[in-house]
Amino acid sequence: MVRFEHVGLSYPAPGRRSAAAVLHDVSFRVPEGGFRWLLGTSGAGKTSLLRLMYLAIRPTEGRLSVLETDITSARRGMLANLRRRIGVVFQDFRLLPHLSAFDNVALPLRIAGRSEGQIRADVAEMLRWVGLAGKLESPPETLSGGEQQRVAIARAVITRPRLLLADEPTGNLDEAQAERLMRLLQELSRLGTTVVVATHNEALASRHGAPALRLEHGRLVP
């Protein structure tokens, strides 16, 4: 499902000769339907590792395979198709500010060319489930941080992705909402979705026992 083999990542550093290396020799596998915590302090490289998995960047070293596709050698045109089967909850939500909550959640379905009738029913139900039934038409700027995060979560799962990646998804949620989200993620994993959740919140991870990938200064540690 996801396979890292000696993956290294450097961001191009304009003005400097040597690029800044962020990940070093990262190797691990996540099986279909697996659930993994991705732990590490701020700056350890969690977001960078997730960005590799949702194909926002390509590795600069090693081999990476996602959804049975070798990303290192895949043609650019194939990646868009893969991305549609990956759901992402971004650390900074990345909602489109000029679209309503409804249209933000509907966006991945429209990109995938689904029919509007289907979209209307699914999106409304999804937003009701995250407790935003009364805010379908609200633009993100009128929503609280927690509400925005719930819109971001709804957008990530609305397509029933095969791979779900969440970057600090509970950062703006209260305890009850966070627990509820964790149960959703584990339920999805049980039903076959592969899930990776990055967090610096060790307490949250220890409450929901699951294998963990631990990053320190860009390296996986046991």
Partner 1 sequence: MAINAVASTHRFPIPRNPMLIRHPMGRSRLRPPGFDDLGLERALSDRLLPFLVAAMAFLAALAFGGFLAAAGLARHWQQGAEAAVTVQVPDPSAVAAGGGVAGTTRLGRVLALLRADPAVARAHALTAAELDALLRPWLGRDSGRLALPLPAVIAVSLARPTATLQRLGKSLREAAPGTLVESHGVWVRRLTVLAQSLQASAAIALLVVTAVAIAVVAVGTHAGLAASREAIEIVHVLGATDDYIAARFAARATRLAVLGGGAGALAALPVLLTLAGLAAPFGRLDTAAAGSGPAAGFPGTALPTLLWLALPLLPLGAAAIGYLTAQVTVRHWLRRLP
Ligand X SMILES: Nc1ncnc2c1ncn2[C@@H]1O[C@H](COP(=O)(O)OP(=O)(O)O)[C@@H](O)[C@H]1O
The footprint of ligand X (CB under 6 A) covers: 11, 20, 22, 40, 42-48
Binding status of residue 12 toward partner 1 by CB under 8 A: no
Our CB check for partner 1 shows the closer of 7 and 39 to be: 7
Q: In this chain, which stretch among 11-19, 115-123, 200-208, 212-220 interacts with partner 1, using CB under 8 A?
A: 115-123
Three-class SS state of 36:
strand
- Phi, psi (rounded to 5 degrees) for 137: -90, 0
Which listed option, Mg ion, ligand X, partner 1, none, makes contact with residue 45 (CB within 5 to 8 Å by class)? Answer: ligand X
Residue 95 has, within 13 A of its CA and on its CB side, a CA count of 29
Q: In this chain, which stretch among 1-9, 22-30, 82-90, 198-206 interacts with partner 1, using CB under 8 A?
A: 82-90
Which listed option, ligand X, Mg ion, partner 1, none, makes contact with residue 187 (CB within 5 to 8 Å by class)? Answer: partner 1
Q: Is 80 exposed, middle or buried (0-12, 13-18, 19+ CB in 10 A)?
A: exposed
Binding status of residue 206 toward partner 1 by CB under 8 A: no
Q: How far is CA 185 from the centre of its chain?
A: 11
Smallest gap from Cβ 221 to partner 1, in A, equals 28
The mark string for 47-76 relative to Mg ion (x by CB under 5 A, - otherwise) is x-----------------------------
> Do residues 42 and 218 make contact, with C-beta atoms less than 8 angstroms apart?
no
Pairing mode, strands 86-89 and 163-167: parallel
Binding status of residue 145 toward partner 1 by CB under 8 A: no
d(CA 139, CA 109): 19
Pairing mode, strands 61-66 and 2-11: antiparallel
Smallest gap from Cβ 5 to partner 1, in A, equals 19
d(CA 103, CA 99): 6
Our CB check for partner 1 shows the closer of 108 and 218 to be: 108
Which listed option, ligand X, Mg ion, partner 1, none, makes contact with residue 194 (CB within 5 to 8 Å by class)? Answer: none
